[in-house]
C-alpha cells in the first residue's frame, strides 16, 4: 500500500476533529500510507467568487471529519477534482457525513480493500454576468440561494428556462437545489426531498407573494437564467452552499446549470439512505415507540 496518498480534512477550530485527525494520520502512516492533512474553513464572503483550490494530483481518496458543512467545503476543495470522500460525522445532522466515528477505522479498512461502494452526486455551476461580462463562477453541491437583505422588500426575479420565459417570482428569494441539498433549505421552504443520486434539480421560491408559485423539478439538461430588474433598489445576495456569499446588483444575470464535475461519496456500509433519512427526520418515531421499538 506504500505510495497511496490519503487526505484528511477536518473541521476548523473543533478540537475533537483535530485530535481524531492526528490519530488517523498516525494510523495511516503506520500502514505505509502517505497523508495530506488540512483544516477546513467553510465560510467566507467574497465579491470575486472564483475558488481555485489546489489539490494534490496523487490524492486517491479523502476522509472528512466534521459535519455536513465541513464536507460541503471539502467537496469544493477536493471532491470536484474527482477525489472520493468518506464523510465522518462529528457534527449535527449528518446527511452527508453518514459514517459514525465508531465505524471510521472499519470503513477505512473497506476503502483500502476496495469493498466500500461509491455513489456520484450532481453539482451545479453558477455564473454571474454583469454588463454581459462574467464576474463570478462557482460550483456547489447543495444549493444556490438568492435572498433579499434584512430590510429589503419583496424582490422580483424573472425566470427563463433554456431562454424561454417561465415566470416572474415575487418573493423573499429563490433556492436552486440539487438532490443532495434537497433536505436542507429547500425542504424548510416547502420543497420536495429528492433521492440523492437523481439527475434533477429543484427551483423553490422563498415565501412567494403569489401562492400559485410552487417548487419546480427540472432535469439536469436545463439551464436556468435569473434576471434582476434594472430598477430594483433592494439589497440582494447570492449564497453558495450556505457558506460563500456574493452581492448582486440590479441588472445582474445569474446562469445555473449542471456542472461537469460530480462528487463521489463513499456510502455507509451499514445504513441505507432511507434509514439515514428516517433517523435524521425522526419519521415514524411515534409508531416505533408505540410498538415498543427504539
Query: Which is the catalytic residue, given 68, 143, 200, 241?
Result: 68
Asked if 108 and 116 touch (Cβ cutoff 8 Å), the reply is no
Asked if 264 and 83 touch (Cβ cutoff 8 Å), the reply is yes
Cα(148)–Cα(215) distance, rounded to whole angstroms? 19
Asked if 102 and 88 touch (Cβ cutoff 8 Å), the reply is no
What are residue 169's phi and psi, to 5 degrees?
-80, 120
Cα(243)–Cα(224) distance, rounded to whole angstroms? 22
Secondary structure of residue 198 in the 3-state scheme: coil
Active site residue 68: yes
Asked if 121 and 262 touch (Cβ cutoff 8 Å), the reply is yes
The residues annotated with a catalytic role in the active site are: 68
Amino acid at each position: 500500500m506504500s505510495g497511496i496518498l490519503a487526505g484528511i480534512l477536518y473541521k476548523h477550530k473543533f478540537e475533537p476533529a483535530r485530535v481524531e485527525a492526528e490519530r488517523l494520520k498516525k494510523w495511516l502512516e503506520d500502514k505505509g500510507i502517505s497523508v495530506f492533512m488540512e483544516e477546513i474553513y467553510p465560510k467566507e464572503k467574497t465579491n470575486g467568487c472564483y475558488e481555485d483550490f489546489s489539490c494534490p494530483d496523487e490524492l486517491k481518496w479523502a476522509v472528512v471529519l466534521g459535519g455536513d458543512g465541513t464536507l460541503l467545503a471539502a467537496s469544493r476543495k477536493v471532491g470536484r477534482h474527482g477525489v472520493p470522500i468518506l464523510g465522518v460525522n462529528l457534527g449535527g445532522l449528518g446527511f452527508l457525513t453518514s459514517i459514525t466515528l465508531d465505524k471510521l477505522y472499519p470503513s477505512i479498512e473497506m476503502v483500502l480493500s476496495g469493498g466500500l461502494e461509491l455513489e456520484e452526486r450532481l453539482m451545479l455551476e453558477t455564473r454571474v454576468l454583469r454588463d454581459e461580462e462574467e464576474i463570478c463562477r462557482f460550483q456547489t453541491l447543495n444549493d444556490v440561494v438568492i435572498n433579499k437583505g434584512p430590510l429589503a422588500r419583496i424582490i422580483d426575479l424573472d425566470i427563463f428556462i433554456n431562454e424561454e420565459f417561465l415566470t416572474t417570482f415575487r418573493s423573499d428569494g429563490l433556492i436552486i437545489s440539487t438532490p443532495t441539498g434537497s433536505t436542507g433549505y429547500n425542504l424548510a421552504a416547502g420543497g420536495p426531498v429528492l433521492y440523492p443520486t437523481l439527475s434533477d434539480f429543484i427551483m423553490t421560491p422563498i415565501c412567494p407573494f403569489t401562492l400559485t408559485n410552487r417548487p419546480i423539478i427540472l432535469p439536469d439538461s436545463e439551464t436556468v437564467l435569473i434576471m434582476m430588474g434594472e430598477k430594483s433598489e433592494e439589497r440582494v445576495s447570492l449564497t453558495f452552499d450556505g457558506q460563500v456569499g456574493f452581492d448582486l446588483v440590479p441588472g445582474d444575470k445569474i446562469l445555473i446549470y449542471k456542472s461537469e464535475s460530480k462528487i463521489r461519496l463513499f456510502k455507509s456500509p451499514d445504513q441505507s439512505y432511507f434509514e439515514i433519512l428516517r433517523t435524521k427526520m425522526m419519521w415514524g418515531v411515534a409508531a416505533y415507540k408505540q410498538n415498543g421499538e427504539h
